Amino acid sequence: MSKLSEKPPENLTEQAAALRSQEFSLEQRRTLLQIAHQAILSGLERQPFPAAPSLPARLAEPRGVFTTLYLPGDLPGDLHRQLRGCVGYAAPIAPLCRAVAETARAAAFEDSRFLPVTKQEALQLEISLSVLSRLFPIRPEAVEVGRHGLVISEGGRRGLLLPQVPIEHSWDRETFLEQTCRKAGLPLDAWRKAATLEAFTAEVFGDADVEVPR
């Protein structure tokens, strides 16, 4: 089989902008990010999730969502953020507002790659939300870097990478497919063979986009 080649994006800013669709208004984005921050802060106090305010119907629809936490760089203006946790639901198993609260708290305290977030860190966290479309089958040659997230599964193994991941690492299409296989614990060429390949799109936004008040 011929190699799938795709030139890494020359302008990562333009590619990243393609991830930001307009399904949610500025105020709705701000509300979801505030829910995420509040879920983490209340978790530090071992309190239940804060009562959800009156929300637009769109924010109560079941949706898949991933919450990613970052700590800012060490120096003022440092663009190199430190990943501090990432947990999500690929399937729409809960209302979006609830899914954001649950995944934010899980990213802060249950991501096995990291120690639980401290109070000091919680006050510095930058949060990014990726609200997912439903999964759909896709052929490898149809995968678009910067547009599609991927899910690869075979047997009991399953790996997922968000659309922004290949942008952050300047991966081409084939590398993106291979790294999703790696995430699933599968051989890097499993996407060429019996593995099931699915895609999704995501609306991605974070604190810096909406100036969430602290």
Average pLDDT, the chain: 87
Among the four given CATH numbers 3.30.420.40, 1.25.40.10, 3.30.700.20, 1.10.357.10, the one describing domain 17-210: 3.30.700.20
Res 212: pLDDT: 57
Q: What is the mean pLDDT of residues 116-122?
A: 96
Res 24: pLDDT: 93
pLDDT at 189 over 70: yes
Q: What is the mean pLDDT of residues 10-27?
A: 60
Angle 199-204-208 from CA coordinates, rounded to 5°: 160
Question: Which residues, in sequence order, are CB contacts of 113 under 8 Å at separation 6+?
Answer: 85
CA 214 to chain centre: 22
Res 14: pLDDT: 43
CA-CA-CA-CA dihedral for 17, 18, 21, 25, to nearest 10: 0
Res 99: pLDDT: 97
3-class secondary structure per residue, 62-108: ECEEEEEEEECCCCCCCCCCEEEEEEEECCCCCEHHHHHHHHHHHHH
Q: What is the pLDDT of residues 122-163, one digit of tens each?
A: 999 999 999 999 999 999 999 999 999 999 999 999 999 999
Res 210: pLDDT: 81
Which range has the top average pLDDT, 16-30, 44-58, 87-101? 87-101
Cross-strand pairs, 95? 62
Domain extent listing, the chain: 17-210
pLDDT at 169 over 70: yes
Q: What is the pLDDT of residues 69-110, one digit of tens each?
A: 999 876 545 457 899 999 999 889 999 999 999 999 999 999
Res 26: pLDDT: 93
- Tokens in use for 191? 């996407």
Q: How far apart are CA 145 and CA 5, in angstroms?
A: 11
Res 84: pLDDT: 96
> Range with the lowest mean pLDDT among 16-25, 173-182, 205-214?
16-25
Share of the chain above pLDDT 70, in %: 85
Share of the chain above pLDDT 90, in %: 72
